[in-house]
Homo-oligomer: A and B are copies of this chain.
Amino acid sequence: MAKQGMLIVLSGPSGVGKGTVRKEIFDSDDNDFQYSVSMTTRKMRPGEVDGKDYYFVSKDEFEDEIKSGGMLEYAKYVDNYYGTPLKYIKQSLAAGKDVFLEIEVNGAMQVREKMPDGVFIFLTPPDLMELKHRIIGRGTDDMAVINKRMAKAVGEIKMMRNYDYAVVNDEVPLAAERIKAIIRSERYSVKRVMPEYEEMLGDAES
């Protein structure tokens, strides 16, 4: 039996810098996992490549995937669907490749339901005030909007309880290093290596 790959899910509140940290991890030399390309119904933007930035599909195609159970997770924002197709992930894991997902918290919880063996990492702002500064720093919202976002952030941070790890994004390279240490160490977790050792014991006793 070939060794199964490991599913790594990076999530966290909006504005925390998930995409930047993910990019830092993928730009480093020692990354050796597959990035899962999302599927969307929104229009392709100039410079984007189908199958690289997103799989671009029609609304009908996306809804067919949902109905047939082909989406690991999905959500609708402003009339467009965004989601993770299950097919490519299963193929990669079966081929022994680790797969890296960077998704919103609601999506992460859908993944946890379907693939509880994944490693679930929550990226957190250094503290709530820091998150507040970042949102204000965008400079486009009034206080009502900010307060609404804050309440949402508090709720999302409470979601941290559903994750395996919480990594503070105080500095992007540090956050990336922490996540890489988590991924490395998860490879040594007994629940992941035990099947191999049980095989070894079987050989020794026969």
Contact = CB atoms under 8 A, between A and B. Distances in A.
Interface of A: 122, 124, 127-129, 154, 157-158, 160-161, 163-167, 178, 181-182, 184-186, 188-190, 193-194, 197, 200-201, 203-205
A201 to B, nearest CB: 6
A201 B154 contact: yes
Give the interface SS of chain A, mostly helix, strand, loop or mixed: helix
A176 to B, nearest CB: 13
A109 to B, nearest CB: 14
The 6 closest A-B pairs by CB, nearest first: A185-B185, A182-B185, A128-B204, A165-B188, A181-B184, A181-B185
A200 to B, nearest CB: 6
A190 B163 contact: yes
A45 to B, nearest CB: 35
Contact of A190 (B127, B165, B201, B205): B165
A194 B164 CA distance: 11
A189 B167 CA distance: 8
A163 to B, nearest CB: 5
Contacts of A178: 184-185, 188
A21 B147 CA distance: 52
A161 B165 CA distance: 22
A157 B164 CA distance: 26
A162 to B, nearest CB: 8
A186 B178 CA distance: 10
27 contacts: A122-B190, A127-B200, A128-B200, A128-B201, A128-B203, A129-B204, A154-B201, A154-B204, A154-B205, A157-B197, A157-B200, A158-B201, A160-B190, A160-B194, A161-B190, A164-B189, A164-B190, A165-B188, A165-B190, A166-B190, A166-B197, A167-B188, A178-B184, A178-B188, A182-B185, A184-B185, A185-B185
